[in-house]
Amino acid sequence: MSRISKTLKGPKKEEKEIPAEPAPTPSDREFLDTALRPAAWDEYVGQKNIKENLLILLTAASERSHPPEHLLFYGPPGLGKTTLAHLVARQCGAPIKVTSGAVIEKVGDLASILTNLSSGEVLFIDEIHRLNKTIEEVLYPAMESGFLDIVIGKGPSARTIQLELPAFTLVGATTRVALLSSPLRSRFSGGIFRLEYYSQDEIEEILRRSAKILGVKLEGTAVTEIAKRARSTPRTANYLLKRTRDYAQVRGRAVSVKLVREALLLLGIDEQGLSPADRKLLSLLAEKFGGGPVGLGTLAAALSEEEETIEEFHEPYLMQIGFIARTPRGRVLTARGLEHAGRRTLGI
């Protein structure tokens, strides 16, 4: 994924992306992550409280001529965690090294990353919950006191050497904050920030900016129509905009409300922004499991889907809009979810 991961030794684990639904192609991702990614704070819509807090923290650190303390961003995929990390680095006038918890497999991988940092550099570790315990333990002293303790040799002849690291800021991002050990969490002394879903107005603002960059003219209330189906998520909004643009181009038509409806219907995205996979989850809950409660493993098996994909991508939004709920005994369908699944009774 990153410049740094290419320098790591040993077999590289394939990084697993939690796809938007339907999954963006690699060229989509490339384009989204570069051209549409906000490069300045005023282009970064919403998350007002996080932005304000960060700006105070970053300004104070810069006035003290010191890199800011370590930061953690968490929340569902596509809400802008990576973008924030880049903005933090830009604000500090520092380079950023990007890597992922999934590719740091050995202590040597982390040591190579840390010892190659330049002074003041921002180290962004995406999906930081994937770091294993051994790596975490090496990371603690590095975050806390700027030292790297490495054990050389084995058994009675083993000795520890301590390397001093350049001052750096670690920015972690995760979709699964609960999986982070509490010692690791406590090392994010700069703050732990939870990103919220975006309002309809904010998504419309993001879409208008993206449409301008892409050179797409949105007629009438076409922007509202796309925003309604964007799952309150900027990445999804941009994805739907681009698919709508493709549809308009191929049909040789303008992007009107009618065209948006046609284009997104063809993708299987309904008025709530739910994909065929979301709807299948709801109808399975209603029909096969009598509305629940049902355990994640059972649900995943019935859907032929990874547990992780359900937990990280489908569930958060379905819970956000009140279609399903999580109980100690498993997932349950709510009355609203049931209505959406098109059932008046649970069929039991």
The binding site for ligand ADP (CB under 6 A) comprises 32-33, 36-38, 44-47, 77-83, 173, 206, 234-235, 238
Q: Using CB positions, name the residue nearest to ligand ADP.
A: 80
**CA atoms of 253 and 216, how far apart (whole Å):** 12
Nearest residue (CB) to ligand ADP, 36 versus 92: 36
Pairing of strands 330-333, 324-327: antiparallel
Sign of the torsion formed by the C-alpha atoms of 330, 334, 340 and 342: positive
Catalytic residue list contains 270? no
- CB 326 to ligand ADP: min, Å: 21
Catalytic residue list contains 235? yes
Catalytic residue list contains 82? yes
- CB 125 to ligand ADP: min, Å: 12
Q: How far is residue 282 from each of residues 77, 104, 347, measured CA to CA in Å?
A: 21, 36, 13
**CA atoms of 223 and 232, how far apart (whole Å):** 13
**CA atoms of 40 and 31, how far apart (whole Å):** 18
Single out the catalytic residue among 97, 126, 130, 278.
Answer: 126
Single out the catalytic residue among 175, 233, 236, 334.
Answer: 175
Catalytic residue list contains 159? no
- CB 47 to ligand ADP: min, Å: 6
- CB 234 to ligand ADP: min, Å: 3
Nearest residue (CB) to ligand ADP, 244 versus 334: 244
Angle at 5 between CA 55 and CA 137, to 5 degrees: 70
- CB 265 to ligand ADP: min, Å: 24
Nearest residue (CB) to ligand ADP, 98 versus 318: 98
Encoding tokens for residue 170?
């670690």
Catalytic residue list contains 174? no
Nearest residue (CB) to ligand ADP, 45 versus 94: 45
Encoding tokens for residue 223?
């922007």
Looking from the CA of 18 toward its CB, the CA atoms found within 13 Å total 23
Nearest residue (CB) to ligand ADP, 198 versus 289: 198
Encoding tokens for residue 334?
């709510």
| Matching residue, tokens 């009355």 | 335
Catalytic residues: 81-82, 126, 175, 235
